[in-house]
């Protein structure tokens, strides 16, 4: 009983914290101060995705990696300086995080329209939403009013982001630490319905694991040999890598998850039933994904007088 009371008290406290944060954020935050914001973001993202469809996945990954380290504060966008080491050089980001120039392009146009008004954190959140939607995925209202961090955390980026070799229990635990439950972890993993991955991160799976479709492994081995080719790319979703759909979950049911961490979602564990549901119900996946993205985007943002509105997303003012 005491354990229940403690857990319930913790849940209530966390819920009140979420409500408090959400009360400071608003989908209409820039309605009067930067009315053209969403039009600008959509336009630049449309151009970027027309040029390279993969960019939608790259921006989505930036957002996830930003929010999981000290909250959604634009910290991942900061460049290193002689006196400051940011998150770009962390293991999960080095030579893989990309799309910074697209955020720069959006920021330049936003600054021209409404100077020193919109945070880089909010720009990244809106760009992520539009990237998903432009590739065929759902849309959602983005809570705005986040401010930019004046620092970032290399150690946090190295320790807070689940890796491609993560077990199911590790995934559940790491998402739980950010206030996201197992269902939200599983639906957010569906972001892997778009994008590419480097051979280095799935080689062990296709050569050594047993719960992998043989023909799928053979296909991936064509561009990911046992030695060399570490940076060679392969689609995370073998069926439709530039369309945001539920095919990722069909892949998992057919043992075609590219990462070990992907296939862990459908490997005789607690998420098997949900994965099967998403694989046959695209509308349920889209709806759950949109809701989870709103919650992800509300992880410990800086609001009010905390942080700043960066004029250049790559450096503090």
Residue 236's CB: how many other CB atoms inside 10 A?
A: 21
Alpha helices in 146-281 (DSSP H): 154-160, 168-176, 182-188, 203-208, 214-221, 247-253, 260-263, 272-280
Phi, psi of 39 (to 5 degrees): -65, -40
N- to C-terminal Cα separation, the chain: 51
Active-site position among 65, 192, 260, 276? 65
Look up residue 48 and give its two tokens: 């970027």
CA-only gyration radius of the chain, Å: 19
CA 177 from centre of chain: 16
Look up residue 267 and give its two tokens: 């490997």
Strand partners, 148: 308
Distance CA 19, CA 7 (A): 18
SS3 for 84? Answer: strand
Q: Where are the beta strands (DSSP E) in the chain?
A: 196-198, 233-235
| Active site (annotated) includes residue 65 | yes
Distance CA 296, CA 66 (A): 10
Over the range 95-113, which residues count as b (16 or more CB within 10 Å of their CB) and which as e? ebbbbbebbbbbbebbbee
Distance CA 219, CA 238 (A): 10
Look up residue 162 and give its two tokens: 């689940």
Q: Which residues are catalytic?
A: 65
């Amino acid at each position: 009983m005491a354990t229940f009371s403690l857990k319930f008290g913790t849940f209530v406290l966390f819920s009140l914290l979420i409500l408090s944060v959400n009360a400071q954020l608003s989908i209409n935050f820039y309605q009067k101060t930067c009315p053209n914001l969403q039009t600008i973001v959509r336009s630049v993202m449309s151009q970027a995705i027309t040029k390279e469809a993969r960019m939608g996945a790259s921006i989505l990954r930036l957002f996830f990696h930003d929010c999981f380290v000290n909250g959604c504060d634009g910290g991942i966008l900061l460049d290193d300086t002689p006196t400051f080491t940011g998150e770009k050089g962390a293991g999960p980001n080095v030579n893989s995080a990309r799309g910074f120039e697209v955020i720069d392009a959006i920021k330049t146009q936003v600054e021209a329209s409404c100077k020193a008004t919109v945070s880089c954190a909010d720009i990244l959140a809106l760009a992520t939403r539009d990237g998903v939607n432009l590739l065929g995925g759902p849309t959602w209202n983005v809570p705005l009013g986040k401010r930019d961090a004046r620092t970032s955390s290399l150690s946090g980026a190295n320790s807070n982001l689940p890796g491609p070799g993560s077990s199911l229990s590790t995934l559940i635990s790491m998402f739980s630490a950010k206030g996201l439950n197992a269902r939200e972890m599983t639906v957010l993993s569906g972001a892997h319905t778009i994008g590419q991955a480097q051979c280095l991160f799935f080689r062990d799976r296709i050569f050594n694991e047993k719960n992998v479709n043989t023909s799928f492994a053979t296909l991936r081995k064509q561009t990911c040999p046992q030695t060399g080719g570490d940076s060679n790319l392969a689609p995370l979703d073998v069926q439709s890598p530039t369309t945001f759909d539920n095919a990722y979950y069909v892949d998992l049911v057919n043992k075609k998850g590219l990462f070990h961490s992907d296939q862990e979602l459908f490997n005789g564990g607690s998420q098997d039933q949900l994965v099967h549901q998403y694989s046959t119900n695209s509308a349920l996946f889209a709806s759950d994904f949109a809701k989870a993205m709103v919650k992800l985007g509300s992880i410990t943002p800086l609001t009010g007088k905390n942080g700043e509105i960066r004029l250049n997303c790559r450096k503090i003012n």
